Amino acid sequence: MRSLEDRIVTKPDDNIDELRKKHPEGLHFAVGDIHGEVRTLKKLMKKIRFDPARDHVYFVGDYDSGGDVTALLNYMSRYYQADHELPGFHMIRGNHERELFPVYPLENLPDIMVVRGRKLNFYIAHAGIVSAAFGLINDDMSREPHRKVFAYRLEDSTCCYDAPLRQVVWSLRGLYSQRSWRHVWPSEEDLTAHNACIIHGHSPYCYFKKPDRFTYGDDNLFWRSQHVWFCSELRSFNIDANVKGREQNGETYRGIACLCMEVYDELADKHDGCLSTDLVHDAENGIFGAEYEHCGWNYSTSSPDSILNAVCDMKTIVLEGDVLKIR
Ligand SMILES: [Mn+2]
């Protein structure tokens, strides 16, 4: 087992201009849990110099519960794109949209999106991907080899309490903690065979970090500067930087983090799909963070229509008897 210090990566996130120079065609980002904190999100978008005409930004869900959700969705609706091929904001639902009495349940949005990069396939889901969904989606994707983005909605029966895909939208402490005692996460071989990189939120880093150790998984790393954690083969990233300020073990950092897909896609491409922590230490930074800033009071009376009325191109995962199917 690695020492705690070996498992911590520290990289400053001041390299967006270099990334922009390298990728004038635009960048793909995934953004962690926001919980109504519109001002912090705007700060993060400013930091990555978000360009709505060129960038694709994917959100892992949990817009509600905290901050000002109406102000947040009003801001997000400016850039929202129901057409996943076009640049702008793309959203999936989190457990706060599905349960917990959300102000906006966003029932017309997908729960899982997959973005095909040059080498890696990025699976974006609120709490993670379980093997049952992984296999189903990969079969579906193999039928459309030229499609870049896939979107799936989970029918309630597939992810309600005790349902097979429950942990895609809601897992108690993140899938990693469950990986060792419930085999729900796709195997390392499966993830490698499909060039998979799972991006999720839902579980803030502070749930897993004790003063002298981590309490989840065996081989996860902590990205100190932006407060996210990931597995050493880079097969998954948890980008929930605890904007709600949930406190555990004296950790009080609050922020929103995002990941630039191009950085890890390129790294995987260069190393024939084999990623490792050692590569991360030498590679350019691909994780950006914005520290929490109180969103204050907003007096907007409009509603986030472009999101609420969106008609997304997505398939539905259903449960027929006890068999999962894509419709
Ligand atoms: Mn959540």
pLDDT at 301: 67
Determine the distance separating the centroid of ligand 1 and the alpha carbon of 31, expressed in angstroms: 13
Determine the distance separating the centroid of ligand 1 and the alpha carbon of 218, expressed in angstroms: 23
Q: What's the CATH code of the domain at 111? A: 3.60.21
The average pLDDT across 113-126 equals: 96
Sign of CA dihedral 274, 12, 17, 122: positive
pLDDT per residue over 127-159, tens digit each? Answer: 989 888 999 999 999 999 999 999 999 999 998
Determine the distance separating the centroid of ligand 1 and the alpha carbon of 170, expressed in angstroms: 6
Determine the distance separating the centroid of ligand 1 and the alpha carbon of 138, expressed in angstroms: 25
Determine the distance separating the centroid of ligand 1 and the alpha carbon of 64, expressed in angstroms: 10
Those residues whose C-beta lies under 8 Å from the C-beta of residue 313, and which sit 6 or more positions away, are: 82, 83, 84, 151
The tokens describing 105, both together, are 């349940």
The average pLDDT across 292-313 equals: 87
pLDDT at 176: 47
Q: Would you say 59 and 31 are in contact if contact means Cβ atoms under 8 Å apart?
A: yes
pLDDT at 6: 74
C-alpha span between 57 and 80 (Å, rounded)? 9
Instruction: Return the amino acid letter for 100.
Output: L
pLDDT per residue over 248-264, tens digit each? Answer: 777 789 999 999 999 99
Instruction: Say how many domains are in the chain.
Output: 1
Determine the distance separating the centroid of ligand 1 and the alpha carbon of 202, expressed in angstroms: 4
For the entire predicted model, the pTM comes to 0.94
Determine the distance separating the centroid of ligand 1 and the alpha carbon of 126, expressed in angstroms: 7
Determine the distance separating the centroid of ligand 1 and the alpha carbon of 92, expressed in angstroms: 12
The CA-CA-CA angle for residues 164, 169, 174, to 5°, reads 95
Determine the distance separating the centroid of ligand 1 and the alpha carbon of 128, expressed in angstroms: 11
Determine the distance separating the centroid of ligand 1 and the alpha carbon of 111, expressed in angstroms: 12
> The domain containing residue 14 runs over which residues?
5-326
pLDDT per residue over 57-107, tens digit each? Answer: 999 999 999 999 999 999 999 999 999 999 999 999 999 999 888 999 999
Task: Give yes or no for residue 37 having a pLDDT over 80.
Answer: yes
Q: 219 to each of 3, 4, 33, 276, how far by Cα in Å?
A: 10, 11, 23, 11
pLDDT per residue over 157-199, tens digit each? Answer: 998 877 888 889 887 554 544 443 444 778 888 999 999 999 9
Determine the distance separating the centroid of ligand 1 and the alpha carbon of 121, expressed in angstroms: 23
- pLDDT grade, residue 223 (50/70/90)? confident
The average pLDDT across 3-28 equals: 91
Kindly state the DSSP code that residue 284 receives in the 8-state scheme: P
Determine the distance separating the centroid of ligand 1 and the alpha carbon of 199, expressed in angstroms: 13
Determine the distance separating the centroid of ligand 1 and the alpha carbon of 143, expressed in angstroms: 31
* One-character DSSP codes across 200-246: E-SS-GGGTEETTEE-S-SSEEEETTTTEEEETTSSEEE----TT--
pLDDT at 219: 60
pLDDT at 178: 46
Determine the distance separating the centroid of ligand 1 and the alpha carbon of 23, expressed in angstroms: 32
